Structure 1
Amino acid sequence: MIKAKLGPNRDSSQFPDVRRDRLNGNVARRTALTSGYIWDEELKGFALRHTATGRKSWIVQYRHRQDVRRITLGTFPMMKAHDARAEARRILASAALDGLPTRRAQEPADAALRFADYVPIFWAHYTHHWKPSTQRANRHYIQNHFIPAFGERAIASLTRPDIVAWRDGMARREGAFNRAIPVLSVMLGYAETLGYRPHGSNPCKGIARYKRLLKERYLSAREYQRLGAVLLEWAATRPIAIAAIWLLIYLGARKGEILALRWEWIGETYIDLPDSKTGPKRLYLNRQSASVLAGLGRQSGGRVLGATFGPRQLDNAWVEIRSAAGIPDVRLHDLRHSFASVAIGHGISLSKVGGLLGHALPETTVRYAHLADDMIGEAASRVSGSMARALGLVP
C-alpha cells in the first residue's frame, strides 16, 4: 500500500482526463489505455487510476486535517473491484473518525471476514516487501494450499489445531509444507496488524516443520575432469551456455545471479551485485572467472550473457552437457555446493566459505560443517599415524 501526501490544495478536479462512473470490474476492463482517473460516483474518494502503459490501480483519497492524502490499494486485476471498494470504505470511515473518542473494540474488526476475502487485502498491502520471484512462489502457495484448506473459514477463527491438521494432511508433501508455513504465518500475523485477529494469536507460531534430508551432491575430482573436457569440447557450439557454466563453477554463484549479471557491476577484483536472494552481494573475481568474462568481449553496459539468453536455454544446455559428462544426477545448483566442498577441502573456514557464497546468516553455512569435520578427522588420523611411527609402534 502506497501513501501519497498531496498538500492542502490538491483535489480530483485538478487531474486530466477525469470522469465519474460506478466502478466495477467491467469498467476497469473497458478503460482505455490513456492516463487519467475514474472517480466512483457513489463512494466519494474511491477511484481507478490508469496510465499510458496500461497499469490500473485502485486508489482512495481523503482529507487529513489540512492535507489531502491518497493511498494505492492495489492493482487491477490482482485486486477485484468489490475488495478495493470495501477497503476504501474502511479507510474512509477510519479517516472520518480520526481524532474522535471511540470505544475500545472487544473483538477483532470484521471478525467474520473469510480467509479467501482476506487474501486480496493482504496481497495489496504486503507484497511490495517481496521480490517478483517470491511473489510468484507465494501466490502458488496461497491459491493451491491455503485457500483450499482455509478459504471459507473466518480469518479470526483459525486456531493451532487447524494448522496442525493441515500439517498432517501435507505429510506426503513435506517440502511444500515447510516452504508454505512461513508464508501463512506472515499472513496471519499481518491480519493481527490490520485488526482481523486478536493480537498475539498467530496459530502458526511453534508449529514444527518436517525434518528432511538436504539433497546435496558434490563433484569428485574425476567428475570435474570429465565435465571440464565436455565444456572445452562444446565451447565453439554453445559459447554463451558454456561461459555461464564456467562462471557458476569458478564463482560459486547462484544461477539467477549469473543470468542477471551486467557489465557495469563488474570491477577489477569484485562483482558487486545490487540485489540477490539475500540482498546486495559481492562476488570475488579470480583469474579463471576473469578470463571467461574477457572471452565474452566486455562491453560498457547490458547483460553479460546477452539480452536473449535466459534460464530455459541454460537448463536445456546443462541437461545435455551433464549427460555427456556422465553426471546425469548433478543439478546446476550442485556446482555451488561443490564450490563450497572444494573450499573447505583446502582448509578455508566455514565463516570465509559463507562470505564467498554470500550467505546472509551463519546458520546457512553450517550445512557444510560435516565436510569440515571430515577434513579435520583425516588430519587427526595423519597426525596420530606420524606420532605412532615416531614412537616405534608401527613400521
Structure 2
Amino acid sequence: MTKAKLTTTVLDRLEPRQSDYVTWCGALPGFGVRVRPSGRKSFIVQYDFHGKSRKVTVGTFGTLTVEQARKRATELLAKVQLGEDVAAKPAVEANPTIAELCAEYLLKGCKHKKASTTLTDKGRIERHIKPLLGHIRVQDLKRRHIDDFFADIAAGKTAADVKTERGRVIVTGGEGTARRTVRLLGGILTYAVDREYISENPRKGVKIGKDKSGERFLSGEELRRLGDALREAETVGLPWQFNEGANEKHRPKKAENQREVIAEHAVAAIRLLLLTGCRLSEILKLEWANVDLERGFLRLPDSKTGKKDVVLGAPALKVLADIPRIKGNPYVIVGETEGKPRSDLKRPWKRITAHAGLTDLRLHDLRHSFASVGAASGMGLPIVGKLLGHSSPSTTARYAHLADDPLRRASDSIANSIAAAIGVGSDVSNVVPLKEGAA
C-alpha cells in the first residue's frame, strides 16, 4: 500500500497508542512523525550513515507546521547526502548532567513562575538536587536514584547551617522538604522530556507519600486565649520564659522586669492575619499606599495569585487605624531597619502562642481559621474563596465598586466573630482617622 504524504489532516487523525509508533511520509523518504502515548507528535528524519541507521528530531507538531518540518527535513537529508552526520550532537547537549539540566531549566523552563517561586526552586536545586544528583547524566538517572534521593533528604543528609555574606542559611531536611524537592525534580525532568533529552520521566512511580493536611482551625475558646495573650503582650507584657541551665546573670532581678512587651506593630500584624485571612507576606509587605481605609480595601499590587483587592471588615479597619505611621517608612508593619518592613513574626509569635498554650499553632493557621469561621457561618465556599483570593483577580475586582455586597457582609461577619473572641472593638465607620505617626 502506498504511503500517504504527511499533511495536517493526516497528523490530526493519528491517535496515541500504548507505545510509541512512527508514521512515514510517502512523498519524502526518511521523513516521519513519532506519536507518543501522551499524544505528543514529533517530526523525525531517519537515514543510514556508514551502514548504521540514524534518527534526528526535527521538531514538535504544533510548534512547527508540517510544511516547516518537511522543509527542515529536506535540508537535513541534503546535508546527509553531502556526507554530514546530522544526528551527531555534542555529548553534553544531548545528555546533560542533572546540574546542567537544572541550569537550563532555570534559564528557559520556568518563565511562567513567579520570581519568588523561582528563587525557592534555586535554593532547592543548590542545597539538595545538585549535591546529591548533579553529577549524574539525565539519561542515566533511574527511579532507584530518585528513591535514594528522597530518603537521603528525609534523613537530613543535605541539612546544613551555612554562613553567607548576609547572615546564615539554615537548610533543613525531613520528609516535607524531601517531598517538595522531589516534586521540583519531577518538573525539571518533565522539561527534559519536552526537550527530548529523555523519552520518559524517571520520577514517575516514585512513592513519596502525602503531605499532612496542615489544616488547623482555632476554636472559639482558643481564639479567646489568643486574644487575651495579644492584649497582655502589648500592654503589661508577657512573663519571661527561662530555659533550664541558662546563665542566671542575664535574668532580670526585679519582678517588674520579668515581663516583655511585644512591639505593637507585631501584635497588629497578627490581628490583621486573623481578621483578613491574608497570607503572611501580604501583611508584612503591605504599604500604606495600598491601604484604602475610606472604601475598606487593601489594594495588593502582587500576591501569590497576582494583583487583588482584599475586602476589609470593620474590626480590621479599626486595627489599621490604630497602627502608627512611622515617618519615612512606607510599610504598615515596620521593623527595626529604617525604611524597611518587619522581616518576620517568628519570635513574637512563639512568645504569644506559648503564653496562650497554643504551641502547635502556625501563623498560616490564622488564614485557615478565618475561612473556617466563614464557612461555619453559612457564607458559602464561593464567597469565602473570593475573600481569601482563591479566585482570579478579575472575578474579585467585579465586586470592588459595590458599597454593600456579599463580600463586604461576609468580611464584616467573619471579622466581627473573630474580633468578639479576641476582644478587638469594631465600632468604626468606613472612614477611619489615622493615628499620628511617630517621628
Distance in 2 between residues matched to 1:251 and 1:190, nearest whole Å: 38
1:318-351 CA-partner distances (Å, limit 9, x unpaired): 1112222222222211211211221122122223
Partner of 1:303: 331
How far did 1:250 drift? Answer: 0.2
Structure 2 residue 381 is the aligned partner of structure 1 residue 354: no
Residue type of the partner of 1:259?
Answer: L
Residue type of the partner of 1:121?
Answer: E
**Secondary structure of the corresponding residue to residue 75 of structure 2:** coil
**Percent same amino acid at aligned positions?**
34
8 Å CA contact 2:350, 2:359 repeated in 1? yes
**Structure 2 vs 1, CA of residues 170 and 319 (structure 1 numbering), >3 Å: closer, same or farther?**
closer
What's the Cα RMSD here?
3.2
1:79-228 to 2 correspondence within 5 Å? 101-102=75-76, 105=87, 110-126=93-109, 128-167=111-150, 173-195=174-196, 197-198=197-198, 200-205=199-204, 207-228=206-227
Distance in 2 between residues matched to 1:189 and 1:341, nearest whole Å: 37
Distance in 2 between residues matched to 1:329 and 1:178, nearest whole Å: 22
Distance in 1 between residues matched to 2:316 and 2:135, nearest whole Å: 54
**Structure 2 vs 1, CA of residues 175 and 234 (structure 1 numbering), >3 Å: closer, same or farther?**
closer
**Structure 2 vs 1, CA of residues 341 and 178 (structure 1 numbering), >3 Å: closer, same or farther?**
same
Segment of structure 1 superposing worse, 337-346 or 109-118: 109-118
Partner of 1:260: 285
Distance in 2 between residues matched to 1:288 and 1:332, nearest whole Å: 19
Distance in 1 between residues matched to 2:195 and 2:289, nearest whole Å: 42
Distance in 1 between residues matched to 2:328 and 2:309, nearest whole Å: 20
Alignment TM-score, normalising by the size of structure 2: 0.52
Residue type of the partner of 2:220?
Answer: A
1:232-273 CA-partner distances (Å, limit 9, x unpaired): 233355211111111011001111110011122222132121
Q: How many residues align?
A: 261
Partner of 2:266: 241
Distance in 1 between residues matched to 2:362 and 2:145, nearest whole Å: 37
8 Å CA contact 1:251, 1:289 repeated in 2? yes
Residue type of the partner of 1:110?
Answer: E
**Secondary structure of the corresponding residue to residue 364 of structure 2:** helix
Structure 2 residue 348 is the aligned partner of structure 1 residue 320: no
- Alignment gaps of 5+ in structure 1: 1-97, 362-395
8 Å CA contact 1:111, 1:156 repeated in 2? no
Partner of 2:316: 289
Distance in 1 between residues matched to 2:135 and 2:291, nearest whole Å: 51
Segment of structure 1 superposing worse, 227-236 or 283-292: 227-236
How far did 1:146 drift? Answer: 1.8
Partner of 2:55: none
1:210-249 CA-partner distances (Å, limit 9, x unpaired): 1243233222222212221232233355211111111011
How far did 1:167 drift? Answer: 4.0
How far did 1:192 drift? Answer: 4.0
1:42-73 CA-partner distances (Å, limit 9, x unpaired): xxxxxxxxxxxxxxxxxxxxxxxxxxxxxxxx
**Secondary structure of the corresponding residue to residue 309 of structure 2:** strand
- Alignment gaps of 5+ in structure 2: 1-71, 78-85, 156-173, 236-260, 393-439
